[in-house]
Amino acid sequence: MLGFLGRVAIVSSCLVAATVAAITIWPVPVHASGVICLLTDPETGQCQLEARWEQPSGGPVVLSITSGGGGTLEKCQRPVRTVADAQQGDAIVDCYGGSSQGWCIPKYDCYLLRAEEFDLVANEHRIAYLEGAKPGDDGALYLAQCLHEHYATSDGWFDYYLWFLPSPPPGYGGQPDPTADLIVEAVNQLQLRGPDIGTAPPENGAGLVGMPVWFWTEVTEQTWGTPVATATAMGITVTAHAEASHIQWQPGDGSDPITCDAGKPWQPGDDVLDPPCGHTYATASRYQPDGRFAVTATTTWEVTWSIAGGPSDGASGTITLTPQSETTLRINELQVLVS
């Protein structure tokens, strides 16, 4: 069975002498990046949340927050709750319970308030030392008012404790809004990449001037698909959905870029002159670096995300990412031998 190059030879119908050289594949580092707006204020049009995306060395896209995304939650989700029990209290509570309760700390399922007026010595028998703290250590005393799964105490919802902690627990003074980080986490879970490049002739072979080169990408969820990912924290869920729209190929010979879908791998029996996605080189690559054309393929991904829960409940947005991949191709010239 003839391979791609064998079929090219038959189509060319010439006795040719092609320059043959040892093939060395040099990896070409790719670094695509850009700054995008994740969330825009619908009233002012101002960007509320900006991010930078990078694709080091042709790997997956990595997103990071560069501005915005600050603030604290007004509502916090309780981590301990028996849903089937109608008397266990609310699942969502105020993050700040006021000057008499202080701040809701999900780690403990309690409200904590600095108990500065309490005498440590006089109340020593009532104090519980947490997080490895011991009497005499640096730290602070807190009045802990803890939520319960059931009305099990005489005070109803709450039971009261005195806790000594070496440092304020996470969430004291305000629970950071995780929405921005969740958007980034969901998008990063998609692991979007540029094309997994396939060519015919293959990169370790050589094409010919005047004969089409086939281009395609191996199809995976990360190179040409519709992947979905979610990220959840503190009662907030972000769902990200991506879809590849097209691939733009730069053949490396100075010609115009070619826009395709995923293309199609060449198979024996396919017409080598009719690639679904391809390019015909008009010049040889012998004067290029390493005697090869640098081919760049860029996939355009449209990523839509949506938020459920939290202060941004119902918000959504769409961003465009353009990760790249590269390969190199040797293109030789047909030379007719006259005898």
Average pLDDT per consecutive 10 residues, the chain (339 residues; last block may be shorter):
49 32 35 88 89 90 90 84 56 88 89 81 81 92 77 51 92 92 97 96 93 97 97 93 98 96 94 96 95 97 95 92 96 72
Separation between Cα atoms, residue 142 and residue 223, nearest integer Å = 53
Residues 216 and 270 in one domain: yes
What pLDDT does residue 331 have? 96
Tokens coding 122: 């006089």
Q: Is position 214 within any domain? A: yes
Separation between Cα atoms, residue 296 and residue 311, nearest integer Å = 42
β-partners of residue 176 are 72
Residues 160 and 286 in one domain: no
Give the structural domain span for 110. Answer: 75-165
What pLDDT does residue 92 have? 82
Residues 119 and 199 in one domain: no
Residues 328 and 184 in one domain: yes
Q: Is position 308 within any domain? A: yes
Residues 307 and 185 in one domain: yes
Residues 139 and 8 in one domain: no
Residues 270 and 126 in one domain: no
Q: Is position 154 within any domain? A: yes
Residues 9 and 62 in one domain: yes
Residues 312 and 224 in one domain: yes
Q: Is the dihedral of CA 320, 218, 182, 67 positive or negative?
A: negative
Residues 121 and 196 in one domain: no
Of 299, 329, 333, 331, which is closest to residue 61 (Cα–Cα)? 299
Last residue of a domain, one of 165, 198, 215: 165
Residues 80 and 65 in one domain: no
Q: What's the total number of domains in the chain? A: 2
Separation between Cα atoms, residue 285 and residue 18, nearest integer Å = 13
Q: Is position 248 within any domain? A: yes
Cis peptide before 29 (omega within 30 of 0): no
Q: What are phi and psi of 289, to 5 degrees?
A: -55, 130
Q: Is position 171 within any domain? A: no
Tokens coding 99: 């000057």
Q: Is position 170 within any domain? A: no
What pLDDT does residue 1 have? 39
What pLDDT does residue 156 have? 45
Last residue of a domain, one of 165, 186, 218: 165
Last residue of a domain, one of 165, 188, 214: 165
What pLDDT does residue 51 have? 94
Residues 79 and 64 in one domain: no
Q: Is the dihedral of CA 92, 97, 103, 105 positive or negative?
A: negative
